[in-house]
Amino acid sequence: MNRSFALLLFIIACVVLVPFRAPAPLFYVPGEGWYYEMYGQNARWQRPRAKEQLDVAEQAFAKEDYNTTLHAAHRILRVWPLSDYAPDAEYLIGRCLETTGKDEAAFKAYQNIIEKYPRSSRYDEVLWRQYEIANRFLGGQWFWLWGCIPYTSMDQTAQMFDKVVNNGPYNNVSPHAQLRIGAAREKQKNYPDAVKAYATAADRYYNQPTIASDALFREGVSYARQAAKAEYDQNTAVEAIATFTDFITLYPHDRRVQQAEKAIAWLKAEQVRGNFEIARFYEKSKKWNGALVYYNEVLQLDPNSRYAASARQRIEALKPQLQASPAS
């Protein structure tokens, strides 16, 4: 027993008296991974002052040594988070991540600059970089779940563009980002939200003809695509026609005017077809008055359509029914 106790005391003494070098501290950065940072000032990338540390990061980035750049830049944010050099450090982090294909993490790094350092001289550049990242996702670039499962998401892409717009609604990049919100929603086949995004662009940037005309035309297209999915709801077709009509009126020399005119013709034909189908529905339900209203609507919209002759025949066929039951 005494011998065991003596051995325990000996081991404790060795632990206390023998010099022990602790392992390097371990830091985790979301989207990037784990970093070891050595103690002391002898590490090749560590410096005692923020400006010197930034110089190391910039020089490493120029040499395409992105690992060292990230270590040096992250150290600035940990040790000197309020220094004048912190925004540039965050910018270098974003550049490294973007260059190495980690676009989601890069977007977040740039967002940190917008939120923490709104007076940064790189503000405009950062917005454009966020826009280009979101554009890559719009083009089909993968997001990564847990860093290993690829997927595409137009919803997340639209949210990225929305952040760009909110970061600077009247910045030069924002009109383009607002249009891309609509494009992402179109790819998602979420036409009501696409319409809203394009309408916002047309209203907000009305004094920029290139943006406003594109927004108004795309708004009409989104309405038309929505109308094509609606069997009995003619409201979207009406909205689409009104939007295309506004487009032609406001931008008569636009190269897409002919497309708008063709779209209006198709939409009116769709209205005729829709009203004819509604009339048939009412007729099958023995609601003769309702059927008569919609058959007449077919003739009013286009008396020469391929449905017109059938509508006239059905109106004649309904007359005895209406006389027999006038209240139906």
Output the CA angle 319-323-324, nearest 5 degrees: 115
Considering the domain boundaries, does residue 288 fall inside one? yes
Tokens 């409201």, located at residue: 235
DSSP string, 98-161: HHTT-HHHHHHHHHHHHHH-TT-TTHHHHHHHHHHHHHHHHTTPPEEETTTEEE--HHHHHHHH
Residues in the chain: 328
pLDDT value for 254: 97
Considering the domain boundaries, does residue 287 fall inside one? yes
Considering the domain boundaries, does residue 168 fall inside one? no
Taking each helix axis from N to C terminus, what angle separates 235-250 and 257-284, rounded to the nearest 10 degrees?
Answer: 160
60-74, 185-199, 237-251, 282-296: segment of lowest average pLDDT: 282-296
Residue 32 has pLDDT above 60, yes or no: no
> Rounded distance, CA 318 to CA 308, Å?
15
Residue 286 has pLDDT above 60, yes or no: yes
How many domains does the chain contain in total? 1
To the question of pTM greater than 0.85 for the whole model, the response is no
Considering the domain boundaries, does residue 317 fall inside one? yes
Considering the domain boundaries, does residue 308 fall inside one? yes
Q: CA torsion 180→184→190→196, rounded to 10°? A: -10
Report CA-CA distances (Å) from 243 to 1, 189, 297.
95, 19, 22
Residue 283: give its domain's CATH number. 1.20.58
Taking each helix axis from N to C terminus, what angle separates 66-79 and 50-62, rounded to the nearest 10 degrees?
Answer: 160
Spatial contact of 308 and 299, defined as CB atoms under 8 Å apart:
yes
> Rounded distance, CA 233 to CA 285, Å?
18
Task: Looking at mean pLDDT, say which of 24-33, 191-200, 262-271, 275-284 comes out highest.
Answer: 191-200
pLDDT value for 274: 84
Considering the domain boundaries, does residue 219 fall inside one? no
Domain that holds residue 275: 270-328
Residue 278 has pLDDT above 50, yes or no: yes
Considering the domain boundaries, does residue 299 fall inside one? yes
Q: 3-state DSSP call for residue 47?
A: coil
Per the structure block, which two tokens stand in for 283? 């007729």
Round the CA-based radius of gyration of the chain to a whole number and report it: 33
Considering the domain boundaries, does residue 294 fall inside one? yes
15-24, 46-55, 162-171, 247-256: segment of lowest average pLDDT: 15-24
> Rounded distance, CA 101 to CA 82, Å?
28
